[in-house]
Structure 1
């Protein structure tokens, strides 16, 4: 029987955050997700993308437009002939969804919405969790574990609170269990170094400490900030310190002794290859929406390992459901990660937006993936009543 695919609904979720999240480039007062519902061979899948203009150049409106303009028959033709589960995963992995949707200007967040919905439907049709997709990717075996591994999630300190305010709110036992703190940078590197020292004073030298400038520092400021943070706060790495893909400045920072982590500079394996070739980075922050979905993220992780770069698995602020669920699934199986982020939806959205609800054990800093089939989530009424066209 010829496969069928119908896009049923494309909506936006701009849900107010209970408190803002701020960094050097942007202050988030609400979520910014595009939610896609489709039916693939009679099974419904639910997907999500998180377009960010300062990350991939995509907007919410542009993402909605691209997804509504998709001709499902074109995608069906690419997936035709994949009768079994491994074959369907292989066929989907072979499709460049960001370019299918965007042409010469790839649209990874739009692709993530489409791919997460397709994987949800595919796995539900076969009664499998999304983790089964990873088992069907033999080309990624070198970067995956065979079983779920409990991951301690990072504590991210943004600019809406001081490090002392945020970390002191944790119990002493919870602070003792922290393994990594990511600090959002201020425009002034001196002030950023002072905040980093607050973290060191509260947690000591054993906790890994990174600073994320979100590409907001000019090159000279980035080089000075890297030196100050390394010398004063024993920084473990500096994330995206200056304008994306400024390989020359990133290389000078690395040569000065501060490891650089790419984020906005690394959306796909080509970016990772450029960074490695120029000596511009030691680490890469992978995010499902930024990279175009689970399978492109996994492919980028494979390329990073081949080139000797270590990875962090990050999140987009305010992910609604499919993105954080699939991100957790990958986090539990991705080997040799330096850090895993989980977000703070339990603080930002006090009313659950999914069933089962978002949950993180803040005492032990753990965030296991939901049980399947699919990514395991469905929207609640509290979410569906806030969706807009």
Structure 2
């Protein structure tokens, strides 16, 4: 079946969370912006993908419209792995990370959605797995800064049924407030978004050891400092996680070979979609490492990540963004229940299409 159209659709949805307005990438987010990728084929089917995202959306839309789509439209949608390889080779001169790869990620996810729909089964079963019907979620809080606000947010996370909480803070008092609010039995993770040069990261890691973190995420700046991460792994008694800023499976190789990471964190909307995510997951398995996907999404990127959780048993949990949208693209599908578990959709493809009324209401 041939690809007949590729359409980027931007939705901007108001949200609330347990703190004042905040954000990432140097801006404050009053709404959450998502880039959906709608792919049509000549058999009348539609597949949905998601491309990263947030502040990068204008660049990703341009890459999808002007660079990726002209090469992909008219191509056979059935052999996804070969098609993605054929697209990556001529496009590598524009970067193996960033908007072009984000655009390819959205296309790839949509093509797997189409493949599952055409076969009449969820993607996980199409890939030969799928016995796992749910996965434990952890709530991933936005950066809140103030100790009292962090404590309140952690208490509310417990009330919502979460037994795993991730912070995006960079100070010891913030982590201390969270641990005190959560108690000793709740898993606590810390993502500092590449905050420190390696020497400072090591000093901070030692100071964080008393708080029993499940992992310290992206501690080192720049994120490409594999030697710095490996040194941290050797000298600090704290598990390390990273990978959301790694643009493809080959770029994970040095991290795997160095032994720097306990948790690989590919982001399905950034790394090349389901096809490339699978390669990263297999690499992690060969090196005896867990996978903790980066997935602060509420669109097809989240559903695709859930399908991967059904395929790969070394995915121990799923990241759920710690916000509440004014309206969800899939209703309750993909959201955790009161026990902190997320059901993995079992309908064909990714398991659910975006609600057209919600898309129309919030479309930019």
Shift of 1:97: 4.7
Per-residue deviation at 1:296?
0.7
Contact 2:2–2:74, Cα closer than 8 Å, also in 1: no
1:193 maps to 172
- For 2:10, the equivalent position in structure 1 comes to 12
* Cα deviation, residue 9, structure 1: 2.3
TM-score (norm 1): 0.79
Mapped partners of 1:217, 1:10: distance in 2: 36
1:366 corresponding residue in structure 2: 341
Question: SS at the partner of 1:158?
Answer: coil
Q: Which of 212, 229, 233 lines up with 2:211 in the alignment? A: 233
Structure 1 gap segments, 5+ residues each: 54-58, 83-87, 136-144, 187-191
Aligned to 2:156: 169
Q: 2:85 aligns with which of 82, 92, 95?
A: 95
Give the equivalent residue in structure 1 for 2:35: 34
Match of 1:352 in 2: 328
- Confirm or deny: 8 A CA contact 2:267 2:294 kept in the other structure: yes
Whole-angstrom CA distance in 1 between matches of 2:276 and 2:334 = 26
Aligned pair count reads 351
Shift of 1:62: 2.1
**Matches of 1:333 and 1:362 in 2, distance apart?**
21
Consecutive unaligned residues in structure 2, runs of 5 or more:
none
Runs of 4+ more than 6 Å apart:
none
Measure how far apart 1:194 and its partner are: 2.3
Tell me the SS of whatever aligns to 1:337.
Answer: coil
- Per the TM alignment, residue 73 of structure 1 is displaced from its structure 2 partner at its CA by 7.5
C-alpha contact 1:24 1:213 (8 A) present in aligned 2 = no
In structure 2, distance between residues paired with 1:361 and 1:214: 25
Structural RMSD (CA): 2.9
Partner of 2:131: 147
1:323 is matched with which residue?
301
User: Aligned ranges for residues 187-336 of structure 1 at < 5 Å?
Assistant: 192-230=171-209, 232-242=210-220, 243-257=222-236, 258-316=238-296, 319-336=297-314
Query: Residues 368 and 173 from structure 1, CA distance in 2 versus in 1: closer, same or farther, beyond 3 angstroms?
Result: closer
Q: Work out whether 1:182 is the aligned partner of 2:193.
A: no
